[in-house]
Chain A
């Protein structure tokens, strides 16, 4: 019996880049990088490094035969620094050696002289200096300027959210194997095989068909391997190309954390206006995105921030300005939620502060402003199938929100040192790449003569269960056992021109493509069957559990026989098909349109306890009602919710990216950058399904799941703030995430 992925995982048999057997004679590469945040490279001295026994080559920008450029959206980023360095950790070159130990030893012997230039780390400062990645983006709806006078309450403020390091447990890496005729085969841990293929071709100055990228699985990615897996593959490919030897490059944890980008820190200003009843009339916000030194995916991430600026609420007058600021930090990049969480956090902060001013519970304001059908999102898309209120109501009832709040109040009355806090977080997250053209995928399905099936798609498995989902989709479409189906590696020679597996859309896009490919084969099979059974019309035929039925009556024709028959009759048992999400569009000039196929909704309630003596806290529970559509696999989907919540809570509580004044990363290892452990994750997570929702865009009415649940974590921040408020009711706390124990204590006592 074929083992599923998880069966291999629990036996330690699933392979990651560093586990794959490499060919005899493979060389090992390690990158060397800038030690300063901004400056000119005056001299690179590799003499001592080169003299170490076992060092085969030291490569820098001069050794690149093609174009030294890895930028995607904007071509502003070199693979290896040329002349100028822009952040601590910017790759300058690689050492290729007989072993990692030798390569790393040589890296430490390379001496680089710099002339330092002024560096900027703060996005607002970069903005003032005119250091922008692109011109500001402005979304506008209604007219905020005219409405302020009509508001009973207006609150303005500033909000900070920190970066977040991905800490995919498998670090970045790639193996490059030279093949005949100058072809390079890359085994890469990337979410975006085509990006790697395209970029490597550009670096080497060859056509894309000379580069094959193969992806087996990723040991976690969370967006961190969408654009930033490319560099390491390109370096390995360059070395393989130069030396005509297989080259492996896997980053050590410290190299990975230092050299790669993170979730974007944002500094934002908001202004919110409400009626005295709590109806939001206007919202205005400016988001200063800390993009780091190069564009990477920042423009798209900023767009998603703007798209999610109003979260689950209908607000008639909105104006948002997004400013992508260039700083001397590693280029920040995709991270689960892709700017959405940063946007949602600001509106939630605004509501929190408005509620505080009005003496109301924030959840009252949240509840009153939830999206309803037939309204429009502020970027112009019609609200359809809004489950915002349904999720909220179900959560309120199922978890007895009133009682939960009462319990918190009772606890706080009886306890002085320990205080509890509770907060609610509705979510609404748009599904589709906001760059419409990316919403395409293809699949290649082979049925072999023994009836087994091989499926290739553009989807990359990174723990999110997309392979299992595609297997389910194929099994249902053919109505055959899942055990017949193998999901193949993601490979650019089988499935070309892939969009990244990102934007929560992997299962939707690739599942739909797989369905189309399967249907092509199925149609042909049914024709064969019709001929065999001498039936004129295939519409009466169907396969159920591997047996052919005619007009609902079982026949003797089973799957294996049917396949053999088709083969003998020289019928094509393979199909390629592609899928493009229908009905989506966005006008990037006017900033209006319907960029999303659909939205995912949910409501989460978080309860916490704060030790007001020590400033520490525990996350007691997170209770969620989530709109899954018709889940393809509830175990996978619930796992995505539980895992997303932990990451969201980590982002806003203990995960603190910190730098020295010179821009050197201080939180540069797992001992200095702490992600949630089993104790700091929520003690209890309860997830229930919103039943019976429909979704024509998801395979078999399923819905995308990857990113949205992360945003339930936002309620942990406000729950902690509420607990602090219970201890110090008179204080006006700053809104600055992450809310580390240090910030809790300093806010309580200073």
Chain B
């Protein structure tokens, strides 16, 4: 599907009539011959293709790191895209200098991605902190260095910048002055405003694929997307998080990172950052959407598991009529949804957990971070004198669908939280799951692991009632 795409690529204006399903990586490498951005895996798992994308937000520049291998040109309109070439000046930037000094690049293939990710971190944050900086580059895989020299280089960069004063309102100028960004960045905001052309996003129009973040579709079927009728919906109208009373609604194209940074979520889920560190790399969190995660119906979709334990509902719309379904009733079977052909997911809504309730999310994967879960689980629970008055538990990786543990939740309702209750409930869990052997683990392991994560919920949430030594 050809359309006119306009954006700023580094310091140059680009306007092309092109198939909007083509991913940015292919465009910049093959058509623009900017080869500093590398193809390492083409599925968002290595970060060698990381670029910055900037949307104007209330007239201000908001840069985010994204995997260009999963970013269709349809989502690039009206943005500023920065590749490693766009970060180069005649002199080396401070980041580049420190990488050289510490030997934080060996074969060099992954290096541009690291430089871009770290630059993105510096643009986006007011206070520089090592752990946060590491998290920002955690989606970049290096096979040579073992990351130790990379950590040293990052520390050096942060230490240098920490010792200089800067005022948040003009971070771009600060970074230009401190040798992180080239001069032309100061002109980008103005140029983006001029570029801004409103595009209307039509209705469904029978498109075979609706693309939000594209982070799974472009992994699964990149070739098919080039040949099918597709529609991009990542417009701002569905990218919101609203609260009305105690009801929170999250628009379908709100990204994972929006939730991670949302004050509403942070207030109600104090350990939110810890969960999101496990869920995906920053570039993926910047692209992946709530709606995409739910519609994709992966049995181990992390965010779906999260919302299932909140007993969330999804609101579907065909442009005329809306209907609401409880999320746990949305899944009919493996990748089968309770949705009509003309409908799309508009938003997710849930009741914010009350002050008396407690929430926990657990995930174990082969590699602790940035991996797909072997099993994940979430629990939201309210108690009254240690008696369970409200409870919702979900589990992923143990059934063909993201599973709401209906029987277990019901079993626990009205019971007192004791070691015995928990042990008695284990057979209930086991009877309502049906894991299979796959690359994420054996069925037997997943059964054991869910028991463990279930226990972990109580160990984490009720340390005053549960003695870990009696439980494991």
Q: Give the B-binding residues of A (Cβ under 8 A).
A: 4-16, 18-19, 21, 101, 104-105, 166-170, 217-220, 222, 252-253, 416-417, 462-465, 612-616, 618, 635-636, 638-639, 642-647, 654, 656, 658, 666-667, 669-672, 674-682, 685, 740-742, 745-746, 749-750
Contact = CB atoms under 8 A, between A and B. Distances in A.
Contacts of A14: 108
A10 B146 contact: no
Nearest to A612: B472
B66 interface: no
Nearest to B89: A11
A616 B364 contact: yes
A101 B141 contact: no
6 contacts: A217-B108, A416-B469, A614-B362, A670-B43, A671-B371, A674-B371
Given A11-B36, A13-B36, A15-B35, A669 B45 contact: yes
Given A463-B106, A642-B145, A675-B141, A746 B46 contact: no
A6 B105 contact: yes
B312 interface: no
Contacts of A7: 92, 96, 100
B253 to A, nearest CB: 23
Contact of B35 (A19, A104, A168, A643): A19
B441 interface: yes
A253 B143 CA distance: 14
Contact of B439 (A18, A417, A658): A658
Contacts of A169: 38, 40, 46, 48, 107, 109-110, 141-143
Contacts of B441: 742
B268 interface: no
Interface residues of B, number: 79
Interface of B: 29, 33, 35-43, 45-46, 48, 83-85, 88, 92, 95-96, 99-100, 102-103, 105-112, 115, 134, 137-138, 140-151, 219, 223, 226, 362, 364-372, 374, 438-439, 441-442, 444-445, 448-449, 452-453, 455-456, 459, 468-469, 472
A404 B107 CA distance: 35
Nearest to B153: A10
A670 B45 contact: yes
A252 B46 CA distance: 14
Nearest to A740: B366
A11 B448 contact: no
Given A169-B40, A416-B468, A677-B369, A220 B105 contact: no
A487 to B, nearest CB: 15
Contact of B38 (A16, A218, A639, A741): A16
A13 B34 CA distance: 9
B453 A614 contact: yes
B99 to A, nearest CB: 5
Nearest to B22: A101
B42 A252 contact: yes
| Minimum-distance CB pairs A-B, first 3 | A12-B36, A463-B107, A9-B108
A742 B442 contact: yes
B92 A11 contact: yes
A462 B108 CA distance: 9
A565 B256 CA distance: 69
Given A12-B37, A674-B371, A104 B223 contact: yes
A78 to B, nearest CB: 29
Nearest to A666: B439
Contacts of B46: 169, 670
A643 B144 contact: yes
A249 to B, nearest CB: 15
Contacts of B472: 417, 612-613
B368 A685 contact: no
Nearest to A219: B109
A18 B151 contact: no
A18 B26 CA distance: 12
Given A639-B149, A646-B146, A671-B219, 13 more contacts: A12-B37, A169-B109, A220-B144, A463-B108, A613-B459, A635-B103, A644-B146, A656-B366, A671-B41, A680-B368, A685-B146, A741-B365, A742-B449
A741 B364 contact: yes
Given A612-B472, A639-B106, A742 B219 contact: no
Contacts of A217: 107-108
Nearest to A4: B100
B27 to A, nearest CB: 13
Contacts of B103: 6, 635-636, 638-639
Given A169-B46, A685-B148, A220 B138 contact: no
A218 B143 CA distance: 13
Contacts of B442: 742
Given A8-B108, A680-B367, A742-B374, A671 B115 contact: no
